[in-house]
């Protein structure tokens, strides 16, 4: 889930070895990001936008 008026413009999904698994654009009106067909494990989601520093989140799939 993304906060209202999030301001994020792009994302990268990164595994524990630092490999980029997926990346893409985030629409201004997006309320959530969904990822299908992922292997189980821990990954990091890096969100970037116009509102300053990138945000990095940890997620387990």
Confidence at residue 37, expressed as pLDDT on a 0 to 100 scale: 87
7-22 residue pLDDT tens: 999 999 999 999 999 9
| Domain-wise residue ranges, the chain | 8-60
Confidence at residue 46, expressed as pLDDT on a 0 to 100 scale: 95
Other Cβ atoms closer than 10 A to 19:
9
Q: Are 13 and 43 in contact, with CB atoms under 8 Å apart? A: yes
pLDDT confidence of 53, banded at 50, 70, 90? Answer: confident
pTM: 0.84
Assign 3-class secondary structure to the chain.
Answer: CCCCCCCEEEEEEEECCCCEEEEEECCCCCCCCCCCCCCCCEEEEEEEECCCCCEEEEEEC
């Amino acid at each position: 889930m993304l906060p209202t008026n999030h301001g994020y413009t792009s994302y990268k999904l990164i595994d524990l070895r630092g490999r980029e698994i997926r990346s893409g654009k985030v629409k201004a009106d997006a309320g959530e990001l969904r990822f299908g067909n992922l292997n189980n494990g821990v990954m990091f989601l890096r969100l970037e936008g116009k509102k300053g520093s990138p945000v990095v989140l940890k997620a387990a799939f």
